[in-house]
Amino acid sequence: MIGIGVITFNRIDMLKITLGRILQHTKGDYKLLVADDGSTDGTLNYLQENNISYVTGKNKGVCTNKSRALFHLKDCDYIYIIEDDIFPIKDGWETIYIDAIHDSG
């Protein structure tokens, strides 16, 4: 199982694009989680309306927010933490990273 954590704070428009691309291009078995750092721009409403898993809390900065994602994805075999402005551009993108992990030991 691949865990994909998307880190965000008050960038709902970029987050929508990133989530759309992840959903479009990820072909393996995965768990998607958005780690929100206390956004006030409607991010939580969007995630709830679209049934996207998320974790949120008081704004404490990017390091704490990444830790939120890691904690909630710890049951996954592989974990990718990406920012809300980074997104895949081709199908099966996740296998490239899994192969790199195996190749590098």
pLDDT at 28: 85
Domain 2-104 bears CATH identifier 3.30.70.260? no
Structure tokens at 63: 């390091």
SS3 state at 34: strand
Confidence band, pLDDT 50/70/90 cuts, at residue 100: confident
Using alpha carbons, select from 22, 33, 34 the residue that is nearest to residue 97.
Answer: 22
Confidence band, pLDDT 50/70/90 cuts, at residue 85: very high
pLDDT at 61: 93
What ranges do the domains of the chain cover?
2-104
pLDDT digits (tens, 9 = 90+) for 37-72: 999 999 999 999 999 999 999 999 999 999 999 999
Query: 26 and 94 in contact (C-beta within 8 Å)?
Result: yes
